[in-house]
Amino acid sequence: MKKLILAAALSAVSAASFAAAPAWDFVQASYVMTDFDDADLNYEPDGFSISASKLVTDDVFVTGSYSMQNDDIFGTEVDFDRLSLGLGYRYALSNKTDLYGIVSYEDVEISGSGESESEDGYGLTAGARSMVMDNIELRGAVKYIDTDSGSDTSLLIGGDYFFSPAFAVGVSYETSDDLSTFGLNARYNF
């Protein structure tokens, strides 16, 4: 009987332990708020974003995100939409930390009053993700985007708290010369 109780206890402990390495197969929904750093504009849209990542080999993954935000500026509803589709490579620095790089297609559109301005280009991202505790992941990256109107470099930081190996909530912050974006997210690892 003691062996049965010990086996059940060990099984419960192993089921409660989380993955040691960052998960790359996930879907995430976020509430996002952006602040444009133009004092004359006073445009601070908010909205929702969905993103996903999927390993296609042990180290290569595809990733994508789409956000829809809007705000009222000078009495006009203005939409701010962003799309990013990328191909990435991860390198396991340790059993808890991955370094990664992404090459991406980027599209940004601002529309309102029946007019729309869209620009596209490419992005390069280099970053790290680490499980600093069994249920806490921290991440940071530098992203360079080059579009029709010029280029911009941003710094991204974030963290997630895992309630289980599959479900997490977290925060993220991205800042550049032109804008800053804050996000609250819920993630499902599959």
Secondary structure (3-state) at 149 = coil
Q: How high is the pLDDT of residue 2?
A: 52
CA distance 27 to 183: 15
CA distance 22 to 25: 9
- Could you tell me where the DSSP H helices lie in 17-102? none
Instruction: Determine which of 33-42, 66-75, 94-103 has the lowest per-residue pLDDT on average.
Output: 33-42
Are 83 and 89 spatial neighbours (Cβ–Cβ below 8 Å)?
no
* CA nearest neighbour of 122 among 101, 86, 146: 146
Q: How high is the pLDDT of residue 73?
A: 79
Q: How many structural domains is the chain composed of?
A: 1
Domain that holds residue 21: 2-189
For the record, the structure tokens of 21 come out as 């390495």
Q: How high is the pLDDT of residue 108?
A: 92
* φ, ψ of residue 29 in degrees (nearest 5): -115, 140
Mean residue pLDDT of the chain comes to 89
CA distance 156 to 173: 6
Q: How confident is the model at residue 19 (pLDDT cuts 50, 70, 90)?
A: low
**Residues 52-91: pLDDT tens digits?**
999 999 999 999 999 999 998 778 888 999 999 999 999 9
Task: Summarize the confidence of residues 173-182 as an average pLDDT.
Answer: 93
* CA nearest neighbour of 154 among 126, 121, 120, 118: 126
Single pTM value for the model: 0.86
Residue with tokens 């499902």: 188
**Residue 161 belongs to domain with CATH number:** 2.40.128.100
Q: How high is the pLDDT of residue 161?
A: 98
